[in-house]
Every structure is written in C-alpha cells, then in structure tokens.
Structure 1
C-alpha cells in the first residue's frame, strides 16, 4: 500500500517536519514511513519481466492478429530440442498452465483510481515550491486527447548513465500524499522540471501510466506516438552529471539553437561525446525525439532547442560531424516528425534501430511502432507474451503480409537460432548486430560493380576457361543467361505467389511457404571471390564440370552447407527481386520440412 494515513482520516492536512523534511498529517498524526515502504518495494515489476520462452511444440502463438496462424491438432513432428530450445530451459520444464504463472489483476491503487479508457491519458501537474529541497508533491489529472491542456513530454532513461533502475526516491501524489518510488534519474529530472512560478503540465511515462496494470500499459504504449506528437515539446534529460548550477545572477537557463552547440559550450563536451551517451542507445528515445515538434536539451547551464529548422542546420553548422560515424544516426532527424527515407517500412525501421538497446527485449519491436502510423491499429504491444512470440510474430508479418523477403536474409539459420525458428531474426544477437550494416546495403549492386572490376581478374588468375570469363565479364550476357534460366519462372504468377497460402504453425513457429525448388547441392562450395562484405562461392554439379555461383552477404557457405543434405530454393517477386534459400531437411521421413541454413542474394551459372 502507498497510503500511510489512518483509515479513518478523511481530511488530510499535510505539513513538512522540520527535522526530517518528510510529510506528516496533522489530522491523523501519522508520518510517512518511508523506510518501511522502501523495504517493501518489489525488486522488479513483474510486468516488466518477459515470460520465459516456451518449448517448441507448445508455443500457442497468436500475436499479431493479422498474421495467418494455423493449429495442428496432432503435430506431425516435434522439432529436435537442441535446435530450438535454449540451454537454460532444458533442465526443467515450466508449467505454463499453472495459474501462478499468469499475471494477477492489478491491485487496488490509491494513486490510480481507475483504468484509463482508450481515449484518455494522465498528466502530472508540477507546482512551484519556496524551498527547492522540499519533497516532491505532484497531482495527476486525467484528460481525453481531444480535450486537454497544453503539455510537455519528457525523454530520459530510467536507470540513467549508471544503469541504476532501483526505485529508491519517493514522490508524493494527490491530497493524501500517497508515496510512489521512482529511480534516482527520474527524480533528478523532476527536480529540474519544477517551475519557478505558475505550474507545468508534463507527461512522464513512469508516473502517468499505471505500470502494474498490464492492459493500461499496453493501451498507453500503443499510442505513445500520438502523446509525443501532440505535446508542445519534449524535455530531454541526459543525466545530472551534464547539468551545472545556474550562476547567482540567473533565474532561468539561457536558451540557444542546437546548431550553436560548439559556440555556446567551448569548454564543455563535444556533440559527438554527447551523442555517445547511453541515453541515445535507448530504443524508446528514437520515436520520442523524432515525432516531437520540438526538443529541449539541458547541458551545463544552457538549454538547447531543436526544431525542424535547427535540426536541418546541425550538419552544416557543426564542422567535423560525420553522422556515418555515429551509432545514433537517427539523431539527425530529431523533431522532423518522421525519418526521410526512400522506404519507411517496418523492416527499414528495424534496420535503423538495430543498435538501440532495451532492458526488455520485446521493446526492440514495441519501441518503434509509433514511427509507423499505418501500423498502429494492426501492430499493438502485448506484454503478456514472451520475446519469442514477439519476434516470431513481427517476422511473420514482414514476410507474409508485407512480402518483405529481406527478413530471411537477417535470420541466423540453424547456426544460432536458440529458442527461435531458424527463419526468425533475433535483434539482440551479437552476430546479427555485426551483420546489420552489411544487410542494409544493396548487395546486388555491389556485386555487379565489383565483379566486373575485381572478380574477373581473380578468376583469370585462377585460370578459368575463356567461356566462363566471357559470360561473367559481359554483364548483358550474364543477365541474359540468368533470365534464360529463371525468368520464365519469375513471370509466372503462380511462382511469385510463394506467400499466397503462407501460414505459421501456432505450436512450433514453422512457416509454410511455396518456394521454387531449384536443385540439390551435391558439392562443397568453394570461395572464389571476396571483398568486404561480399563473397562469391562456386558450386559444381553432379557431373563435376558444370557449376554455378552463389553470391552471399558475409555468409561462409563453405562451412555451413552440407553437400547432398542441403537444397537450393527460390523466392521470387513480381518486381523481379529474389532471394535464394539454402534449406536442410528436418530429418528423414519429413520430405517437406526444412531448417533454414542461410540465404543468398544472387545465383549465376557458368
């Protein structure tokens, strides 16, 4: 309980005790037992801890609703455990039907009187105090989106740069001064937000959302994009160690445009150093700063303002700033409302935020939904499901509904799939984090340019035949040969309809597709060309004379492909884009069930 008064106290009158500085009620004569309340704080909120991943064959997938799932009453197979389940889960099997493993309804709260409806949100009212060391006393007010006052939002990290996420600093809410503990970083931010006069209406996620009510949390997270977009500005708190006291003669911090950063802070941190702080690696920050109309960042005793115009002036005004060398490249789009890209698909946003961090792995997906307005009614956060469910669901949506076959090029295959199916990427995998920059590039274009200039010379050095050199060296003949073999298949709508009846099996996460089977791989791939992230492998056919080339993006085919076990399949789209899949049969007796070994971007015959 957060209320510390006697149950009979109907008209609380709060005073601040001179000795302790903490509140006491004159009516019931109780004082806030902060030490006892702090000791009773749970170590972590159960709603913030993802459920454990389930065993394959027992997943019961259902997220997202737009994904075509199907259930098999009696699955025809059970995948081998070591290929699907995490090692930590092999020792004991959790009972997912046990009522104790489900989340209980939210406890009755004296702070949050009721659950918000879909059109409501809460705001904090901050009032001035005479003594800056007085306890925080705030009030919560509920509004609808169509009938609310002007307000500000905030952007910060719960644990700050030190990563201290313990709820240790009290704030007091409402007429009873109910106690709600916050992190030190949140508390420091609120202290800076206190107005000198008047009052300030602010939206703070940790306080304005009942974090112990799963349904309310999901509703509010789903519309965070709108909350930030409708606000006057977002106030950014980078940490107390970047804030310095105001000079004695000043009442308010001075304000300047962000592109004047180096001029106003000649002895302070550089902009590159600021952008390397842990704050900018947080996935939620991306939508909070990009969607907002204006951002206000306090560094030293200066508040820097970023709006649409100043955001555009940053690169031209700050000499030596190269966004390509900054992890948070998205920061150049602060206050722009969106990210100007040729394509702002869901997968593009996943690419852009791949390096961003989240304490909850599910937020790697949930944290970018606000940047894609057309997805908001379709893709909705669900914090009752495991990370496993979220990653399978979003991958299936990209592949089946959006027909974005690039999702398969991000998948680790059977090499490192863990508890996920081999076709599902894992955004927290260190291996895929290293591959992400390569996956963003157009491998086909690189191949066309580099093959002509470098690969041909290497093949000459290897004394390949003149006929092979002619085919590979002449782009038009190469393309003609490629079209001769595959173009009749590509233009056939039945071949392009690989996803027409695509579904995902609810119990295992297996995806059912209709790709084109091209051939069985009968020999070990041989690396014949490599440059940066581009590799070309030659594979000979059964006769040992005819061969073909597979172009990959940093995939070692010579070590991951098993001759006579693996098969090559084609996924083709009407726009002539394609992806080649190396698949391996699950086991004998299951002729149509495969694991994904890897994907290849191009195929050429000698």
Structure 2
C-alpha cells in the first residue's frame, strides 16, 4: 500500500493529540476524479467532522485521486466511496484512516491507531459505507423507504391497484421483491460486517452510524426489520402462483414460470432455514449494548477478519478501558506476544478465568515469545468454543453462588516473571480415562453413540450412578444442542438406528425433524474424546475437546463454566523443588454432573467438589 513519492506527509505531534482531516472538494459531475485537501488539527480543539467506516478492499488494485494538488493512490473501493460521499456544492470534512494516517510510518501508526476510538466517538456522524449500489440493493432500498414512509407505501399500493392486471405485471412484481431479497442478502453478507476494524467503528459512536450503499443512506434497524418480515411478504406470492400460471403450449412462458418458482423456493429457504439475520442481528445488538470484558469482545468478533494478525487485538483496544494504557500499540511485537499480553490483562486485571472456556487451545506448542514458545495458557483466539464445533451449557447457578465464598483464591493469579508460568487456583475434578474417540463419518458417529448407550451401565464403573445411563449419555453427547429438550430419548435412539444403517439412512430419517437435527449436530462430535473420571469417588464421564489423553487432570476454577484439562509438561524447575509438577493446558471438557441442571439438590459430583479445597497449579 505504498503511497507515491510525490506526496509527503507532515509530521504529527502525539502530545498535542494531532490528527489529519480530509476535505472532499465538491463537484457536480459524479464521474469526475476526486480532489481533496488534508489539514492537521488537534482532537482537543477539532472542528466538526465525520468519520468513515468501510473496508479497504484489495490493496494491490489502486486508482488515483488528487490530494493537495498532488497525485495520490487509494484502493478502488475507497475511491468509489469518496465519489459517493462527495457533495455537489459543498465541502465535506471527514476522517478516513487510509489517507489520514501515513500507512508507511510505523511510528505514526503506533500513536494514531490508539486514537481511533476517540475519533469515532468525537465525530459528529459516522458513515458506514457498505459498497456500490446494485440493481438488487436498489430494490432493497426502495422497499425500506416504502416501509419507513406510510405515504410512499400508499402510493405504491395505489400504483399496483390501477396497474393493468396481467400475468407479466404480477410476475414483474414478484421478480422485484425477489431482487430485493437478494439485495438484502448481499448487504448482510457484505465484507464490511466481517472485518475486525469495522466492529469498534460501528460500536463506539454515541449515535447509530448511517449506513450507505452507493449514495443511498439507510438505518440498520430498518434493514433488520425488513429482513425479519421478508418471509411474510413472500408468503402470498407462494400461495398465488397459480394466478401467474404459464400459457399452455408457450415454451418460453413455461420456462419463465419455472425459473420464477425456483427463485421463490430458493429465497424462502434461505430466509427461513439459514436465517441470515440471526447471527447478524445478534452480533450487532450485542455490540451496541456494551461489553464488560476483553474476553467477551474477542469472543463476539472471532469470525471477523484482518490483514495483520496484530489487529485481532489492536482493532478492539478502544472497546475496553485501560488495556491500551497497560499494553500500548506496538507493531514490532509478534502476534503471539500480544496474545500473551491480552491473556494477562484478562486474567489479572479483569479477573476473568472463564476465558479458558471461551476459546480452544493449540494442539502443540507454538509461537515465539521473547525467544520461547508461547505458554499453553494463551488460548487460540481464532477458535471460539461458542462459534466453532462445540457449545457448552452454562454452569448451574448454585455452583456459581458457592464459588463466591472462595473469592480470594479465584483472583490470586500471577506470573513468575521471565518464566511465563501461570500460578492458577482451582479445584481438582479428576483424571481422565479415555473410553473412545468419535470417528469422522456421521453414520459411524451414530453407531458409536448407540454402542455406548447399549453398554451395560456397570461398564462405566468407577462409582458412576448407573440410573438412567442411556438418557445421561445421550444428553452428554448432544450437550452442544437442544435435542434432549425437544425430543424424547426413544425418538433420538430410533433416529440414530436409521442413520447408522449400513444401507444408508431412510427417507423418513432424513426428512424427520429429529433426523435433520441429528444430521446437523452429530458431525460436531467428530474427533471428540469420551472419557471416564478416575481419582474421583463419585465417578463421572464426559466429552473432551482437544487432544485429551489418559491421565489428563481436569480442574475447575472459580468462574469457569466447564473444566479444563491439564497435562504434566515434564518440566521441573531445578532452582526450586524438582518434584513440583508444571502443567500444560490441553483442552476443554464437558463433564456430566457439573453442567446439568442441579434442581433442588446438587449432583454427587458437585457435592464432592464443594467439599474440595482450592490448589495452586503451575502452568506454562
């Protein structure tokens, strides 16, 4: 993203909190080349300005604009945004990162990027530009405007009422609605919503940002409302397809009708089955409500992308007060070093050890922290348990209330400086005795579940309460879904039998509600480890994520919702007691008896844990 040598930035004074503001000069000709000027101001005494939130697009494809009468290269996506933002008769004052920050000056980036939170908060308005308008998104915008304006909706209804009734006219109406559906799907899947930097840019402004496609503004609540009502908008057309039946013997008309039927069916399926608004609306709503910890911010943004791995953290610094003061932005660090800093912040300054339940761990040592491999207690912040392959149920509230009695130990987290060893307080749950690992094929997973359920309860041994073992095993294996609450266990077992058939699943199994959910949930068990609890008087069993092996130690700290697995690293500190074990964190575990509903009385396992004491574990 090199800028031409012809343009030279004047230095900024960090102590004066200086930034640069861009002025987009007006032009009545929408196709004219963009001309801008740049000025330096202090955020302590800045004029009113807007801020642009957008995605750069490809940094290898650039086009020229004029900046202070000097040629300047920007990405094609930014150039398109500038043309849409440009007024015909008045100047527009706006902050845009690509131009206002010297992207080739690492020292300047280290001081300017921490100011972005304040920039987006101080801006009089933030514009979220989602990309150029298309024929489909134009139809979507028209539907939004009609829904926002009762008068526009009335004129539209009158136009339809007086319009000559014909099959072609009705098909055109259906086609325009289907175009709007596609435009809606294009907007909610736009690259803007998948980038890491746009998260804080959309969240931080006091006023809701104004969204734009091309030159057309709209509000996100209006888009969400339209998306939630598309199914009912389409339903009458699905019911009245016979009114647009093709003319007999007209091959072209028959083909057009067939295509229309296909589009209607596809649109209905995409809106009801995949429900594109569900995750989209949840993330946006959650981001606007406020987030209590950096761990929650990282979890909510785990699917967002960035070019520089350091931006996985730096792009979110403004979301949580204090973190960038403790660990300033420095692009000379490695991503592993910053990940360790963030983990220390979460553990020590936020006191949130359930971060170990939010993210998976690396299978093998990795990274290079000050010349050493990264500590095992630094999670893989690109792999969240809530967004990838397994979702744990929440710990019962009775256990959380009990943990308040141990507050002094829950917060006693520290690091042995220079050795990257975490001193971690938790209770022992037990050690693992691996029973089997789930295969990768869905039919084989179904057979493995049935085999486990059909085993005599005594086979699970080790003091496990043998009552209702079939139900308990099914519940544990499918704990990442809601099937246990939706269907009787016998219905699940019958569907498993059909799915595991050597001749392949029957049509009834594939089409039944329980069969469809099993086909969705069973693949998530692939590679998971089923274990029994040893060294635990009440016994127990569970499912592990990660490379769980025989003899791994499960521990549960004060605020965790599920145990984590530790393994003897083999390291012994020759400077101290050589018998002290140093562990590695290797995975998360669902343990039946801890995560289940405790009802009026705690389960035997929870009862045993309540009587156990906290211990200090050394983890590196």
| TM-score, structure 1 as length reference | 0.60
1:83 maps to none
* Residue 139 of structure 1, CA deviation: 0.9
Post-superposition Cα deviations, 1:27-47, rounded to whole Å, max 9, x if no partner, equal: xxxxxxxxxxxxxx75x99xx
Q: Does 1:339 find its partner at 2:288?
A: yes
Q: Does 1:172 find its partner at 2:66?
A: yes
Counterpart CA distance in 1 for 2:278 and 2:53 is 15
Q: Does 1:523 find its partner at 2:523?
A: no
Post-superposition Cα deviations, 1:533-592, rounded to whole Å, max 9, x if no partner, equal: 2799662546xx95522555x627xx62223xx33334225xxx6653321111164633
Counterpart CA distance in 2 for 1:286 and 1:361 is 16
Post-superposition Cα deviations, 1:248-274, rounded to whole Å, max 9, x if no partner, equal: xxxxx9997696499798444432331
Q: Is the 8 A contact 2:531 2:542 kept in 1?
A: no
Counterpart CA distance in 1 for 2:222 and 2:86 is 26
324 and 500 in structure 1: CA distance in 2 versus 1, 3 angstrom threshold: farther
Q: Is the 8 A contact 1:256 1:304 kept in 2?
A: no
Q: How does 1:370-381 map to 2 (within 5 A)?
A: 370-373=318-321, 375=323, 377-378=325-326, 380-381=328-329
1:533 maps to 480
Q: Which has the higher helix share?
A: 2
| 1:555 alignment partner, one of 536, 542, 545 | 545
2:376 maps to 422
| 2:555 alignment partner, one of 557, 569, 573 | 569
Structure 2 unaligned segments of length 5 or more: list them: 157-175, 233-270, 368-373, 437-451, 453-472, 482-527, 574-579, 595-602, 606-620
2:353 maps to 405
2:564 maps to 581
Q: Is the 8 A contact 1:354 1:427 kept in 2?
A: yes
Q: Is the 8 A contact 1:584 1:596 kept in 2?
A: yes
| 2:18 alignment partner, one of 96, 107, 120 | 120
Q: Is the 8 A contact 1:584 1:594 kept in 2?
A: yes
* Residue 154 of structure 1, CA deviation: 1.3
* Residue 412 of structure 1, CA deviation: 3.3
Counterpart CA distance in 2 for 1:338 and 1:413 is 25
Post-superposition Cα deviations, 1:431-473, rounded to whole Å, max 9, x if no partner, equal: x25752677764335xx9xxxxxxxxxxxxxxxxxxxxxxxxx
Q: Is the 8 A contact 1:347 1:398 kept in 2?
A: yes
Instruction: Give the secondary-structure state (helix, strand or coil) at the position aligned to 1:415.
Output: coil
1:19 maps to none
Counterpart CA distance in 1 for 2:340 and 2:304 is 20
Q: Is the 8 A contact 1:282 1:358 kept in 2?
A: yes
2:415 maps to 503
| 2:212 alignment partner, one of 298, 313, 331 | 298
Q: Is the 8 A contact 2:194 2:305 kept in 1?
A: yes
Counterpart CA distance in 2 for 1:322 and 1:402 is 40
Q: How does 1:42-61 map to 2 (within 5 A)?
A: 42=2
1:188 maps to 80
Counterpart CA distance in 2 for 1:410 and 1:417 is 19
Instruction: Give the secondary-structure state (helix, strand or coil) at the position aligned to 1:150.
Output: coil
Post-superposition Cα deviations, 1:503-551, rounded to whole Å, max 9, x if no partner, equal: 1644x644232434565x2733577431142799662546xx9552255
RCO greater where, 1 or 2, for CA within 8 Å and sep 6 or more? 1
Instruction: Give the secondary-structure state (helix, strand or coil) at the position aligned to 2:387.
Output: helix
What is the Cα-based RMSD across aligned positions, in Å? 4.4
Counterpart CA distance in 1 for 2:278 and 2:128 is 15
Q: Does 1:154 find its partner at 2:52?
A: yes
562 and 256 in structure 1: CA distance in 2 versus 1, 3 angstrom threshold: closer
Q: Is the 8 A contact 1:412 1:422 kept in 2?
A: no
134 and 182 in structure 1: CA distance in 2 versus 1, 3 angstrom threshold: same
* Residue 405 of structure 1, CA deviation: 1.5
Q: How does 1:361-400 map to 2 (within 5 A)?
A: 361-373=309-321, 375=323, 377-378=325-326, 380-400=328-348
Q: Is the 8 A contact 1:503 1:511 kept in 2?
A: yes
Post-superposition Cα deviations, 1:39-87, rounded to whole Å, max 9, x if no partner, equal: xx75x99xxxxxxxxxxxxxxxxxxxxxxxxxxxxxxxxxxxxxxxxxx
Q: Is the 8 A contact 2:137 2:184 kept in 1?
A: no
| TM-score, structure 2 as length reference | 0.59
Instruction: Give the secondary-structure state (helix, strand or coil) at the position aligned to 1:436.
Output: coil
* Residue 279 of structure 1, CA deviation: 2.0
